[in-house]
Amino acid sequence: MCGRKYASEELTWAEYREALDITGTPPNTNFQPNYNIAPTHVMPVAVHESTQHVLRPMMWGLVPTWAKDATRSYNMINARAETLEEKPSFKNLLKSCRCAVLVSGFYEWKRDGKTKQAYRIERADGEPMILAGLWAENGYLETTTYSIITTNATPAFGPIHNRLPAILERDQVATWLHGQWSHAKSMTEPYSGDLDVKPVGNAVGNVRNNYAELLEVKN
């Protein structure tokens, strides 16, 4: 499960443009760092419109196009790759409602008996992390929302958690956003690159906490 993300001060408009090949104009977003992105937060998300990639502000927690209320959105922050083609909320989005979310990394918790230890996870090469997702526009509720796709964890990450977000490479973004689903589907396989996993303080577990010190490594 991917239940928290963070976008640090390095993620400027230029970073979004380069990583996601954004050719549209910047959205009305200030690109301030967010060190504890939680469900219901609104973030800039990349989609394909006409002939270009653009950023649109979206709330994390997918509200299906047919929903009459948003009460299920918190339960739809993630979409399991293995069942995308089966779930009514996701299967109709696979053709033309795929999105990409740029973050510095994400948080995950490892359970040890009754206690949990928080970790921050980043790409080992220091590049921003591009997460594959699905998005939906609900006209009845006037909401635009998204969900992050998750896959089975790699053997190396397994001791922390059994799920990982689907992580894209930069040269995969165009195919993911507007290529044929038969080609994009393989991009929901477990990430093959190396991840940097470091323990942090459990203050990140409180969604009201949002400051740079959350990323400090715990000894």
Residue 155 near residue 164, CB atoms below 8 Å: no
Active-site residue, selected from the candidate residues 18, 108, 122, 127: 108
- 2 catalytic? Reply is yes
Tokens of 33: 């760092």
- Sorted by sequence, the CB contacts under 8 Å of residue 118 that are 6+ apart come out as 107, 108, 109, 199, 200, 201, 202, 204, 205
Active-site residue, selected from the candidate residues 2, 97, 99, 122: 2
- 108 catalytic? Reply is yes
Residue 102 near residue 31, CB atoms below 8 Å: no
Residue 83 near residue 147, CB atoms below 8 Å: no
DSSP state of 28: S
| Residues identified as active-site | 2, 108
